[in-house]
Each structure stands twice: as structure tokens, then as C-alpha cells.
Amino acid sequence: MRIAPGDPIEKLIGDNSNAAEIIAVKKDLGLDKPLVTQFKIYILNITHLDFGQSISKGKPVFDLVLNHIGPTFTIAFFAIVGAMLWGVSGGVLVGYYKSSWVDYSGRLITLLILSLPVFSLAPILVLFFSIKLGVLPVSEWGGFLHGVLPVLTLTLPLGAILLRVTRNKFLEENKAQWIEVLKAKGMSEFSVTWRGFVVCLPTILTVLGVQLSVVLAGTMITEMIFDIPGMGALLLEAIQNRDYPVVQGIILYSTTIYLVVYFVIDLLNVYIDPRLKRVYEQ
């Protein structure tokens, strides 16, 4: 951002500004100091929950992020829930019916979905559901229907990844000796399948955590495509205006979310799999 061409002060006060005005505004905003000094001041301010002030809007970065976080969080949350529902259940289903038409169909569908990036999948969904069928709105942010296509755009690829991971892990566990022991003891097919699924959960949750960065990035791209006033729109505007504090604030938000989710997933994995607890204790 700092190395790229463009000066935020020139965008702020206009092209007709003179050098003296630019220097005065830079000094007022603290942009005249060395980058190391600016970074030191920024870190010290963060400890007081001061994330700076937007150069272009003149508002606190914290308030701007808070005003735009709603749509982004909503889309990301429902996308993850939807992906877990269809991806994990589909993975268990195709794994249970290995080498059948169910297995082959599921793997083919996931391959087709994963072959389409977000910026290609979204127009296809718009063409089918909005233009051909006319059942869903194309853009903007309002009621429930406005969020269906953005959520679907993120749910399909994430669910496809979870389906493939769940299937492979489920088949791997089904070959284990403890599964054969449970079957030999006369345990019902459902109970055996459920226990096999529980053992797969730590792997599934870990993959979900890794894919969180993809979901956050995909949410911002999706917001731009569907004209949603979320973090993606705020980030794009900040980049265009060279608004350093806002870009830094959004990156800090994304990183914090990523770390918190990873921490929660680690705790869940220890709770689900007692073997991990013994490893941590050692």
C-alpha cells in the first residue's frame, strides 16, 4: 500500500493543492514521520483500542468496521453453517455408499463446483436464479432473499471441500481394526457409523479452520459482485483512496477472527478426541 503509486493526501484535498498544503495535512495526520515511527505509534494506539482515523472519511476506523461488519458476518456465518450441513453429511453419505452411483455422483459434483472460482460461480447463480427463474434479487442488501445468492456462492465450494475431506477420512477410519471389533460385538450399523463420524470430526474442524481465510476473502469478493455494503466494499474503497488506517483495521479484524476461530477449534478437538488432551499434557 505504501509503495504503490498514489498519495492519499492528494485524493483528500484535490489535484489543485500545492506542496505546502500537502505537507501540512501529512503532518497533521502523522504521515510525515518515518514508517518505523508510524508503526510504533500504531501498535501503541492499538493497546488502547485506538485503531486510528480514516483519512478519506475522517471517522474512527473502529466505527467504520463496526458499521460494515454486519453483512459480512451474516454471510460468512450462514455460509459456514450451510457448508457444514451439506458437506459433512454428504461426505458421510458418499463414504458409506463407496463405489456406488451415489459416491461417483457426489465426487463428480464436488469436482465441478471446485473447478469454478467465486467470481465465476456467482454470475452463473445470478444467471440461473435471478435472470432465468426470477426468484432471487441480483444485488443490494435488504431482506432474507438478498442474502441467499451470496451465501450460496460461498457455501457450495466450501461444502465441496468438506465433502471430499469427510469422505476420505470416513473411509480411512472404516478400515481401522476398532471398527471391525465394534461390528463383531454386534453393535448396530448406525452406532458404528456415528462413532466413525465422531472420530473424523477433529480433521473436519481443522480443515474448516484452514478454509476460514478462504471464506473471509471470498466474502469480500462476493460482496463486491452483489453490491453488498460489507467489509469488502469498505476495503475496496479504502484501497482506492489509499486509506491506510482503514486497510490496517480490516486486516487486523480478519486476523483476529482467524486466530479466535483456530483457538476454539483446538479446544473442540481436545474435547472430542481425548488422545489430543494427553498429547497436550505431555
Fold that domain 61-281 belongs to in CATH: MetI-like fold (1.10.3720)
Mean pLDDT of 66-82: 86
Q: What is the pLDDT of residue 282?
A: 57
Q: Does the pLDDT at position 4 exceed 80?
A: no
Q: What is the pLDDT of residue 196?
A: 79
CB 179 within 8 A of CB 192: yes
Distances (CA, A) of 91 to 104, 156, 189: 12, 14, 17
CA dist 244 and 51 (Å) reads: 11
Higher per-residue pLDDT: 255 or 12: 255
Given pLDDT bands bounded at 50, 70 and 90, which one contains residue 70? Answer: confident
Percent of the chain's residues with pLDDT above 90: 0
Mean pLDDT of 231-243: 84
Q: Does the pLDDT at position 180 exceed 80?
A: no
Residue-range domain boundaries for the chain: 61-281
Instruction: Quote the mean pLDDT of the chain.
Output: 81
Q: Is 80 exposed, middle or buried (0-12, 13-18, 19+ CB in 10 A)?
A: buried
CA dist 236 and 260 (Å) reads: 25
Q: What is the pLDDT of residue 265?
A: 83
Q: Does the pLDDT at position 121 exceed 80?
A: yes
CA dist 151 and 164 (Å) reads: 20
Nine-digit cell string for 233: 466494499
Beta strands in the chain (DSSP E): none
Q: What is the pLDDT of residue 34?
A: 84
CA angle 181, 182, 186 (to 5 degrees): 110
Q: Does the pLDDT at position 16 exceed 80?
A: no
Q: Does the pLDDT at position 130 exceed 80?
A: yes
The region of weakest confidence among 14-23, 35-44, 107-116, 249-258 is 14-23
Q: What is the pLDDT of residue 278?
A: 63
Given pLDDT bands bounded at 50, 70 and 90, which one contains residue 281? Answer: low
Q: What is the pLDDT of residue 144?
A: 76
Q: What is the pLDDT of residue 188?
A: 80
Mean pLDDT of 49-70: 85
Q: Angle formed by the axes of helices 118-125 and 212-226, to 10°?
A: 50
Mean pLDDT of 29-50: 85
Q: Does the pLDDT at position 279 exceed 60?
A: no
Tens digit of pLDDT for each residue in 195-213? 877 878 888 888 888 777 6
